[in-house]
Structure 1
Amino acid sequence: MPSPAPLRIVSANVNGVRAAFRRGMGDWLAARDVDILAMQEVRASTDDLAGLLGDEWSILHEPATAKGRAGVAIASRAGAHIHRVELGAADHDTAGRWLEADYEVNGRIVTVVSCYVPSGEAETPKQVDKYRFLDAMSERMSQLASHELAVVVGDLNVGHRTLDIKNWKGNVKRAGFLPEERAYFDRFMGAEGEEGYNAGAGFGWVDLGRRSAGEVAGPYTWWSWRGKAFDNDSGWRIDYQLATPALADAMVSYAVDRADAYDERWSDHAPVVVDYAI
């Protein structure tokens, strides 16, 4: 009997899904044979999503409180069994930034989280809000670590290591690469140089991008629209798929779908595409 086809999970910060489709996201999606599509920065209504994706997709959507901002969604070829959106204290607005769903895949449950961490701004209230979100995220990820097959994907807005940012020396005091932010990721999968880093340290999560690429720069997933950042590959690796060990061991391929040219981009982020043999 042939083995089941791999499960393809994609994380994509779409930077506004309606604009992304105008720029060509639909053509990319039609050609990529995606099973589960986790999106961030949707910035649209559920009806907009349904109209763009079509009837073959089952859609879960957690919009932001403020219209036209943030928003996370998970679209799949089959419906989810359970979905959850609560994260952190009731007085902390995390709407549009965290969405969990459980899917049955070949008789096993796979938990998928689409996450959009606030970008923050050093030494401002925005950074305080970012740390509150990361605190709540850490608590939930410590709980999800007990699931056999779980993956947290999305625009996590932190470069964990110097390998993750092209110009890391120029960004050590900027949100996205602050030591305090990076320490959260040390808790998730271990610190650089720590025994068991990305192989059981911390909460035990595995950074699939680093496991796949090894100890090399990048591969980056975000480049500014401005200047020559994309052409020079002056990017940041801030889009992740973090998996529990059992799911990480099921990974059979990892790719960052970087556009061939600046004018072919449909977002300032590139999708992260992972196949799992389950």
Structure 2
Amino acid sequence: MGNSLFKLTSLNLNGIRSATSKGLEDWVAAQAPDCIGVQELKAQGTDVAGRFEQLAGLQGYFHYAEKKGYSGVALYSRHEPSEVIVGLGEPEFDAEGRYVELRFDTLSKKRSLVSCYFPSGSSSEERQQAKFRFLELIYPQLQRMNAERDYVLCGDVNIAHREIDLKNWKGNLKNSGFLPEERAWMSKLLDEAGLVDVYRHLHPEEGEGSYTWWSNRGQARAKNVGWRIDYQLASPALAVQARRASIYKEQWFSDHAPLTIEYDWTL
């Protein structure tokens, strides 16, 4: 790859069929990322077969939900992995299609790219409790992985970490996505587990320009009443090599905007 930057994108599709009908493939072809981690495929293997195994020339690796039209994640990569890990090893969440990891291991380095879709707790207290169980499950796994290998997790985490990460923070203090327990979990992940919120590392004080999701209700997008809930969370050794980040808002493929970060490393 020479001295070119490694371009990594994360995007919640809110349905791959819907997103591609809005021009996603042309955009990916024009952007030419090395890898794109997507969440909320809302598709099964039968839907993907013959249509979405590749995206603009990138090879796809998938974790489908058992329930039709629900969840699901994928990584589309220009580079062939040495190993593919599907699922977290916990039946409750593996049935929901929330985690896929590509490993690019050599004799001298261990490196992974992950696409992960964290549960939303906004629909019911039952789902909020499931979200808390997921956070409890994935924390030690991310911490352990950080000790063993370098990685970047692309994901819709469904948590706005700080007050600058959403427009109406005062009105959301008791709402899923900005609960004290969720924000504390994010702080612990960054402070104790040692991961780096790469976008925030590059743009420490940016508020309204950093949003990645807008409700379909009202005129949230027009008024930029948004949330920053899509992340690239990286091991320090990789995060420090991040050179620039962008959130693409010129076209809309879903209710989320693509987050692209370019790193000064190769696989």
Q: Does 1:270 align with 2:234?
A: no
| Partners of 1:87 and 1:48 in 2: CA distance | 23
Contact 2:64 2:96 (C-alpha < 8 Å) held by counterparts:
yes
Q: 2:192 aligns with which of 202, 209, 215?
A: 202
The residue that corresponds to 2:43 in the other structure is 44
Residue 224 (structure 1) aligned to one of 180, 201, 215: 215
> Equivalents in 1 of 2:166, 2:178: separation in Å?
8
Deviations 1:31-80 (A, max 9, x none): 10111111000012345446243583221100012111000000111222
Mapped contact 2:114–2:154 kept (Cα < 8 A): yes
- Return the offset for 1:90: 3.7
The match for 1:114 is 115
Q: In 2 relative to 1, CA 54–207 (structure 1 residues): closer, same or farther, beyond 3 Å?
A: closer
Structure 2 equivalent of residue 197 of structure 1: none
The structure-2 alpha-carbon separation of the partners of 1:228 and 1:5, relative to structure 1 and needing over 3 Å to count, comes to same
Separation in structure 1 between the aligned mates of residue 244 and residue 221 of structure 2, nearest angstrom: 24
- Please list every run of 5 or more consecutive structure 2 residues that lacks an aligned counterpart in the other structure: none
Give the match for residue 103 of structure 2. 102
Q: Cα offset for 1:82?
A: 1.1
Q: What is the DSSP-based 3-state SS (H/G/I as helix, E as strand, rest coil) of the residue aligned with 2:152?
A: strand
Kindly provide the CA deviation profile for residues 83-115 of structure 1, in whole angstroms up to 9, marking residues without a partner as x: 21232544555531111111259x744211111
Letter in 1 for 2:87: E
How far 1:5 sits from its partner (Å)?
A: 1.3
CA contact (8 A) 1:252 1:275 kept: yes
- Between the aligned partners of 2:238 and 2:258, the Cα distance in structure 1 is 19
Following superposition, the deviation at residue 171 of structure 1 comes to: 0.6
Identity of aligned residues (%): 37
Distance (whole Å) between structure 1 residues aligned to residue 56 and residue 9 of structure 2: 19
Q: Could you tell me the TM-score, scaled by structure 2's length?
A: 0.91
CA RMSD of superposed structures (Å): 2.2
In the alignment, is the contact (CA less than 8 A) between 1:148 and 1:247 conserved in 2? Answer: no
The SS at the match of 1:274 is strand
Verify: 1:246 aligned to 2:247, yes or no: no
- Output aligned runs, 1:1-278, within 5 Å: 3-46=2-45, 48-49=47-48, 51-52=51-52, 53=54, 56-87=57-88, 89-91=90-92, 93=94, 95-103=96-104, 108-121=109-122, 124-189=125-190, 201-218=191-208, 219-259=210-250, 264-278=251-265
Amino acid of the structure 2 residue aligned with 1:79: E
What's the offset of the Cα at 1:164?
Answer: 0.5
CA shift, 1:258, in A, is 1.7
CA distance in 2, matches of 1:231, 1:116: 26
Query: Is residue 148–residue 246 contact of structure 1 (8 Å, CA) maintained in 2?
Result: no
Counterpart AA for 1:250 = Q
Structure 1 CA distance for aligned equivalents of residues 195 and 126 of structure 2: 29
C-alpha distance in structure 2 between counterparts of 1:271 and 1:156, whole Å: 14
Q: Is the Cα contact below 8 Å between 2:84 and 2:100 reproduced in 1?
A: yes
Aligned equivalents of 2:246, 2:23: Cα separation in 1:
19
Question: For 2:238 and 2:148, how far apart are their aligned partners in 1?
Answer: 10
Letter in 2 for 1:128: Q
Counterparts in 2 of 1:121 and 1:229: CA distance versus 1, 3 Å:
closer
Aligned residues, how many? 262
